[in-house]
Amino acid sequence: MTTASSFIDALHTEGPAPDRADKMSLYGWLVGRWTMDAVIHRDDGTLHKAAGEIHFGWVLEGRAIQDVWILPGIFFGTTLRVYDPGLDAWHILWSDPLRQIYTRQIGRARGGDIVQEGTTSAGAPIRWSFTRITPASFHWLGESSPDGGTTWRLETEFFARRAEASCGCPPP
């Protein structure tokens, strides 16, 4: 057993676990630091625009990717993304202690996008997607469905740009 000198040393690792490195690339290309422009679509039709940052890193012996999303005054949360070989999909666990929002989703590639699907605590379907993916940018969409998945409402958009890479992984 390895003894870590700190919590961060125990959590962080330099890359994907060798037994699943190929599957880890779905999200592995995100590892590094990003800046983002956010657009919040409010229920009354108005927009709130703000700037934030995102940090992605390899964790748990390279069997997961964890991120921190920061949009000052709006949210400060973290996602744990864990690949499940039995499902050939990803478990996505989002926690936002500022707003007390917690979600669980399943993430998969869908064409050139990454789509995460789950439900709110009230049971309404949600869909979070990485779209327009390039090595240096992505467009993230947060949608919800008030009618069980028949129609979708855009709630949040993030336009992210890479500020610093540390992965060396190509996007999916």
In a domain, 20, yes or no: yes
Q: How confident is the model at residue 30 (pLDDT cuts 50, 70, 90)?
A: very high
User: What would the pLDDT profile of 45-79 be if each residue is shown by its tens digit?
Assistant: 999 999 999 999 999 999 999 999 999 999 999 99
- Token output for 108: 């998969």
Count of other CB atoms within 10 angstroms of residue 28: 24
In a domain, 136, yes or no: yes
Q: How confident is the model at residue 171 (pLDDT cuts 50, 70, 90)?
A: low
In a domain, 115, yes or no: yes
In a domain, 13, yes or no: yes
**Domain of 42, in residue numbers:** 7-165
In a domain, 172, yes or no: no
pLDDT at 102 over 70: yes
In a domain, 129, yes or no: yes
pLDDT at position 166: 58
User: What would the pLDDT profile of 73-92 be if each residue is shown by its tens digit?
Assistant: 999 999 999 999 999 999 99
Average pLDDT of span 155-169: 81
pLDDT at position 4: 60
Find the CATH number of the domain harbouring 109. 2.40.128.20
Average pLDDT of span 130-139: 96
pLDDT at 165 over 80: no
In a domain, 2, yes or no: no
**Number of domains within the chain:** 1
In a domain, 122, yes or no: yes
141-to-15, 19, 128, 167 alpha-carbon distances in Å: 27, 31, 6, 23
- Token output for 24: 């880890």
DSSP E strands in the chain: the ranges are: 32-41, 47-59, 64-71, 75-84, 89-96, 101-110, 113-119, 125-134, 137-144, 153-165
